[in-house]
Amino acid sequence: MYTQAIDLAPGASPARPEAASGRDAAFEAAIAQDRKVEAQDWMPEGYRKTLVRQISQHAHSEVVGMLPEGNWVTRAPSLKRKAILLAKIQDEGGHGLYLYAAAETLGVARDDLIDGLLTGRAKYSSIFNYPAPSWADMGAIGWLVDGAAIMNQIPLCRCSYGPYARAMIRICKEESFHQRQGFDIMLSLARGTPAQKAMAQASLNRWWWPVVMMFGPSDKDSIHSAQTMVWGIKRISNDDLRQKFIDATVPQAELLGLSIPDPDLKWNAQRGHYDYGAIDWDEFWRVVNGDGPCNRERLGDRVRAHEKGAWVREAAMAHAAKQAARSQQRAA
């Protein structure tokens, strides 16, 4: 997918040797005409840095997002559910890889990005710092977390940066399967025994507000939105996406026969949207800043997995070096 990537020294900026004003004009024209900016095109440093930040945070979220579900692979209630869960988790690892590859086209080294995650320098989505203590959480994560992810990611398929937009197209197709498998788990539980239905309701109660927060701070507090919308990276604001998600999800909860834990949730015919209750932004920022229920556990697990995988990386590098030496010998 990323064969358009060019060979750049890590840290090098993909600049074209043109006069500054011409470069700016070409970039501005691409944005104004809604054309894609590609890796080899000149781009303002702020645009490049913003993309590296967002794409790498997104990649980290996919990788950390494997952890709450990984815990349930050995406890899935049937072979079919286990196979589906495994496939979903594997997809998330794949999404992380497409996204790291997309970030690399901007002249950053993957090792630096991963170091940012492991040292706590880089953010990942707040949502993965919540626990998943019951099987119903596998349903709620797929239905709600992947549902929110799709809502946020569909507009990113139209992002102005080509490699990110193209990665998002494939990711969204897979997320759609993830969302449906989650809803299917919730449906089975909601139509099951009273204890199963209660488990589904308890899970919805736990995940609802963290998922509503996942779209990011309200528009008035979003520091990046104004600029990223001008650049065509973000197409729909945090609050507008949150509203679209709530409007789409309420009827799904009704179909499941589950109630959303928000006493202020009600249809507003005048606005044509659901009104919803106040979001606990203190909780959001606590979690974003490292003090959520599972932040330490998630990061600790990632660091341990990285350390345990050192021998695999070393073996792969040694193999690649051997292959390169052999093809050099053959060419000589």
Asked if 201 touches ligand BYC (CB under 6 A), the answer is no
Residues 130, 97 contacting (CB under 8 angstroms): no
Asked if 224 touches ligand BYC (CB under 6 A), the answer is yes
What's the min distance (Å) between Cβ of 66 and ligand BYC?
Answer: 7
30, 43, 56, 62: residue in contact with ligand BYC (rule CB under 6 A)? 62
Q: What is the DSSP string of 254-293?
A: HHHT---S-TT-EEETTTTEEE-----HHHHHHHHTT-ST
Asked if 54 touches ligand BYC (CB under 6 A), the answer is yes
Asked if 132 touches ligand BYC (CB under 6 A), the answer is no
Asked if 176 touches ligand BYC (CB under 6 A), the answer is no
Can you give 9-35 as a three-state secondary structure string? CCCCCCCCCCCHHHHHHHHHHHHHCCC
Asked if 160 touches ligand BYC (CB under 6 A), the answer is no
CA distance 3 to 251: 42
Length of the chain (residues): 332
What's the min distance (Å) between Cβ of 52 and ligand BYC?
Answer: 11
123, 158, 235, 286: residue in contact with ligand BYC (rule CB under 6 A)? 123
Lookup: tokens for 300? 């600790």
Sign of the CA dihedral with 39 first, then 43, 49, and 50 last: negative
Residues 102, 39 contacting (CB under 8 angstroms): no
What's the min distance (Å) between Cβ of 112 and ligand BYC?
Answer: 16
User: Which residue number, 42 or 128, has a Cβ lying nearer to ligand BYC?
Assistant: 128
User: Which residue number, 30 or 66, has a Cβ lying nearer to ligand BYC?
Assistant: 66
Asked if 53 touches ligand BYC (CB under 6 A), the answer is yes
Asked if 125 touches ligand BYC (CB under 6 A), the answer is yes
Q: Which of residues 279-298 bind ligand BYC (CB under 6 A)?
A: 288
Asked if 151 touches ligand BYC (CB under 6 A), the answer is no
Asked if 110 touches ligand BYC (CB under 6 A), the answer is no
Residues 157, 229 contacting (CB under 8 angstroms): no
Measured at the CA of 125, the angle between CA 119 and CA 130, to 5 degrees, comes to 95
Question: For ligand BYC, which stretch binds (CB under 6 A), given 41-49, 53-61, 110-118, 275-283?
Answer: 53-61
User: If phi over 0 gives left and psi between -120 and 50 gives alpha, with beta otherwise, what is residue 11?
Assistant: left
Cβ-in-10-Å burial (0-12, 13-18, 19+) of 33 comes to exposed
- The contact set with ligand BYC (CB under 6 A) reads 53-54, 57-58, 61-62, 65, 92, 123, 125-126, 145-146, 149, 152, 214-217, 222-225, 228, 234, 238, 288
